[in-house]
Structure 1
């Protein structure tokens, strides 16, 4: 089944201050089961690459996708500087969306990559209606991430990292040569499928068309984080998470086991699953195993 072809039951925008947040619902928000709110990565990505999660609605779980402010179908603000794009802004947007859709008293959050850190921070505040949390392919901090990027970069084919560092030092990371040199990293640690799936490509196109948020908060690439998030993490608050938590990562993930370990160590009720044939997008790389892990977790939350 092509997830992009699953018809939404509702879609539109909700006001977020003077801006708008685009959303899509698949399934029935009034089913009685907690709605699964899907928080995409980036920052500066879009919901597209996570559309496959809409298939969980076939098992009764309502699924909410949305595009974070500055991206996709939500309000774009290319004129805003780095000081505008903050963690608190995106936490407020998530809370606003949940309340606007009327699911604040019965929801779960699935956060992928950057979205996993955002979801963990959200859960650590203990929202009253939060029933569960899934953290997928996320580091617990960007300093840890950057340390592990050094390890992964050193394993790239000969000459690749040298080319990357030359452009990073010169500030020429928006060149064809830099993008081409980055490809071996992405093929090893971000998405190992060839060709890249349509939904994954759609997100890449969106990010390329407006990289405002990505450049401000992350930087020019997955492995060269020099934006406002470079010193940020959630290690200091995740012990406060009080809902059943599922952590997912891939064996070949850019979010290496060392970057994920604090979630396992500090969250009180946690289960960690590593998908052996995946990198950063196991929902696309190992869909059957991913579904098995997700549905087992969702059923346990519903039975609690």
Structure 2
């Protein structure tokens, strides 16, 4: 069964999809990356519906959701409120949460509000500290050709991150640390229409490498010990969410597991789809069997 529609949240309506084969497993809700991206690239995770309902929603401001002009809406706290409103509207009394990238920022902050009925949380390629993320990208940049490093540094310092040379330098970074599929999937390029750069700029900044937005101080590492449900941390071997930092987050979280996808960067759900679905599916079934 495939159901889709809109849910009223603070600031507008969000678009959701639900895939359900009536198999009785606990639903999993997918939190996409960004901020200001969409569920577009994550659609392969609907395969998890063979065991449980799978819910996607495009966060407000992107994808097929409303795009209100009110810039004050682009705050972490409102996205946390939105997640609670989506859960309530879809009667998700018990739920697993799978966040990817910025979706893990949202998932962790939501879990720290101590909501009821969260059976597990999966942090896929996590960003749980903006300062640590920024530090890791500086280290990743040093693994690239000198001229690419120089271009990125120069464009950031001069505020010319909207230029072609910055875009080309960023593409080199992306081929190493975001998605290593070669050729890069054509259909993935089409997903850019679902992104909202304004949300990303306000919350993160003009580039991946330096956080200038309102998430600049975000860091929940000291509170990870408060997450009470079973937790799985995953990332790719070449991920911008580095294995070292991802393992560090896991070490701070009780009842957590850690796994690296050896042939992936930041998108193991695309780079190693069978392996990713196998790991996630088995983990969710294991938790449901408790």
The reply to whether TM is greater than 0.5 is yes
Q: Who is 2:70 aligned against? A: 80
Give 5+ residue unaligned stretches, structure 2.
none
Q: Who is 2:137 aligned against? A: 149
Taking the aligned partners of 1:184 and 1:20, their CA distance within structure 2 comes to 36
Taking the aligned partners of 2:159 and 2:135, their CA distance within structure 1 comes to 21
Classify 1:233/1:32 alpha carbon distance in 2 versus 1 (closer, same or farther; 3 Å): same
* 2:47–2:277 contact (8 Å) kept in structure 1: no
For normalisation by structure 1, the TM-score amounts to 0.91
**CA drift at 1:241:** 1.0
Task: Name the SS of the counterpart of 1:161 in structure 2.
Answer: helix
- Give matches, 1:36-115, under 5 Å: 36-57=28-49, 59-77=50-68, 79-81=69-71, 83-103=72-92, 105-115=93-103
Q: Who is 1:297 aligned against? A: 283
1:13 to 6, 17, 41: 6
Taking the aligned partners of 1:198 and 1:56, their CA distance within structure 2 comes to 24
RMSD: 1.6
Taking the aligned partners of 1:241 and 1:198, their CA distance within structure 2 comes to 39
Q: Who is 2:153 aligned against? A: 165
Worse overlay, 223-232 or 198-207? 198-207
Taking the aligned partners of 1:257 and 1:142, their CA distance within structure 2 comes to 16
2:244 to 241, 249, 258: 258
Classify 1:26/1:18 alpha carbon distance in 2 versus 1 (closer, same or farther; 3 Å): same
Q: Who is 1:205 aligned against? A: 193
| Deviation string, structure 1 residues 39-70 (Cα, Å, up to 9, x no partner) | 0011010000111100111x221100011111
Worse overlay, 259-268 or 89-98? 259-268
Task: Name the SS of the counterpart of 1:237 in structure 2.
Answer: helix
Give 5+ residue unaligned stretches, structure 1.
1-7
Taking the aligned partners of 1:237 and 1:121, their CA distance within structure 2 comes to 10
Taking the aligned partners of 2:74 and 2:246, their CA distance within structure 1 comes to 25
Taking the aligned partners of 1:27 and 1:40, their CA distance within structure 2 comes to 19
Worse overlay, 39-48 or 172-181? 172-181
Q: Who is 1:3 aligned against? A: none
Classify 1:18/1:86 alpha carbon distance in 2 versus 1 (closer, same or farther; 3 Å): closer
Task: Name the SS of the counterpart of 1:236 in structure 2.
Answer: helix
Q: Does 1:117 align with 2:109?
A: no
**CA drift at 1:199:** 5.2
Q: Who is 2:115 aligned against? A: 127
| Deviation string, structure 1 residues 184-229 (Cα, Å, up to 9, x no partner) | 100000000022235532433322xx31101111122222322111
List 4+ stretches of structure 1 deviating above 4 A: none
| Deviation string, structure 1 residues 92-143 (Cα, Å, up to 9, x no partner) | 000000100011x111110000101211121222321111111000132010
